[in-house]
Amino acid sequence: MPDDAKPLDYWPGGGPTPDDQPPAARPNGVVPAEFDTLLTRTADTGAAQAIRLALENAGIAVFETSDGKAIDTQMKLLVRAADAEQAKPIAATVFARREKFKEFPRQQIPKDDVPSSILMIPIGKRRLL
C-alpha cells in the first residue's frame, strides 16, 4: 500500500455517536389561505390518500399537510369552507369502508398436518430423465 493512501472517512465530524438524536421534524409547509376548514386529521396515511383522491375525483380542491414527523405522522386534509359540507360525507364514507375492510378476518397460513419425513423422497433411488 502506498504511503499516501489513506482509508476513506465516510463519517464527517468523526462518525455517529451513541447519543444521536432522532431526526428533527420537518417544518410544515405554508397552507394557502383559501383552505380554511380542517376536514380530518389522521395517522392513517392510506386513508388520507384515499380521501384526497376521492375528493379530487368529486372536483373538490383539497390541501394535504403533515406534522413533519418521520414516525407516527399525523396527516391533515384541509378544504375550502364552501366545499366542507360536500367533503364531509366523502371522507366519512372512505373511513367507514376502511374500517369495514379491517374487520375481515386475516387469512391464516395452513399448517402442514403431514410429517416432514413423508415429504422427504430419496433422490438417489429414482432415475431422473
Give the residue, 51 or 108, on which the prediction is more confident. Answer: 51
d(CA 92, CA 105): 23
Closest C-alpha to 65, from 34, 93, 27 = 27
**Domains (range + CATH), the chain:** 31-102 (3.30.70.1530)
pLDDT at 81: 93
**Greatest extent of the chain over all pairs of C-alpha atoms, in Å:** 79
Q: What percent of the chain has pLDDT over 90?
A: 37
pLDDT at 118: 53
Q: Are 98 and 44 in contact (CB under 8 A)?
A: yes
- Nearest 10 degrees: Cα torsion 3, 4, 9, 15: 60
95's grid cell:
373511513
Give the residue, 7 or 34, on which the prediction is more confident. Answer: 34
Angle, helices 45-57/84-103, rounded to nearest 10 degrees: 130
d(CA 45, CA 50): 9
pLDDT at 47: 92
Contacts 24+ apart (CB under 8 A), 1-6: none
pLDDT at 5: 72
Predicted confidence band of residue 30 (pLDDT cuts 50, 70, 90): confident
